[in-house]
Amino acid sequence: MTVPPLLADSLPAGATTTIAMWLCPILGHFLGAIPVGLLLGFAQGVDIRQHGSGNIGATNAARVLGWKWGILALVLDALKGLLPVLAARILTRDSPNSIHVQVVTGIFAILGHMFPVWLGFRGGKGVATGLGVALVLSPISSLFALAAYLLMFAVTRVSSMGSLVAALTFPTAEWIRTGSNMFSSEHWSLGVFSLAIPALIILRHRSNIVRMIRGQEGALKAPAAEAPAADPPKQDG
């Protein structure tokens, strides 16, 4: 008995890459735009936009809903970035442009998370989704950035501080890892990603930075109960 070929294997040479070049970024964008934290809040009868920082990301989900929901939001937000980029890698594995398709797909997923069309382009800050993307594109630099976040958060209990340090660590680690090859013809898109996305994440934290300068940025604490925390908007997250 002959095994039917996979769809990708039955397409003409180059067709899979061409399809992936268009399909993966689009799917990545709409997957990234799924407001995981908000939906988890709705499942608990809470609109997390009305509590804590008002942000739909994992940090505010942890503050408003509790740690277990915050961790779940973090994992799912990361998967929103990881899965479409991984799919792009598989579909374009035989193409010399594979890394570029992966990078574009990852950027679209992150932008979808930050600017979801069905929430009036008011989304999260891109840290968890960016981590998911970066874990596929550059695992080593991603792990350094994650370690920097965990260390800073352990010391300060301020998630935004950890995010900012991680955003600075990733391009630094990538530059150390690749050296003069960071913007080579084969990897220039990853080099652009390594600078542009951390810069965008830092820009999305501008209100947090202002509060840090003023000494007003609050530490993240788990709510005492599953009910929404009563803290006013504009805290860390």
- With contact defined as beta carbons under 8 Å apart, do 220 and 157 qualify? yes
For 68, phi and psi rounded to 5 degrees? -65, -35
User: Would you state the pLDDT for residue 230?
Assistant: 44
Q: Alpha-carbon distance 166 to 202, whole Å?
A: 10
User: Would you state the pLDDT for residue 237?
Assistant: 59
- With contact defined as beta carbons under 8 Å apart, do 236 and 219 qualify? yes
How many residues belong to the chain? Answer: 237
Q: Would you tell me how many other CB atoms lie within 10 Å of the CB of residue 137?
A: 24
Q: Alpha-carbon distance 35 to 49, whole Å?
A: 11
- With contact defined as beta carbons under 8 Å apart, do 174 and 182 qualify? yes
Name the maximum alpha-carbon separation found in the chain. 72
Each domain of the chain, given as residue ranges in start order, spans 16-214
Q: Copy the structure tokens of residue 70.
A: 């915050």
Q: What is the pLDDT of residues 32-84, one digit of tens each?
A: 999 999 999 999 999 999 998 889 999 999 999 999 999 999 999 999 999 99
Q: Alpha-carbon distance 38 to 122, whole Å?
A: 12
Q: Residue-wise pLDDT tens for the chain (237 aa)?
A: 444 554 445 555 466 778 888 899 999 999 999 999 999 999 999 999 999 888 999 999 999 999 999 999 999 999 999 999 999 999 998 889 999 999 999 999 999 999 998 899 999 999 999 999 999 999 999 999 999 999 999 999 999 999 999 999 999 999 999 988 889 988 899 999 999 999 999 999 999 999 999 988 877 765 544 444 445 445 555
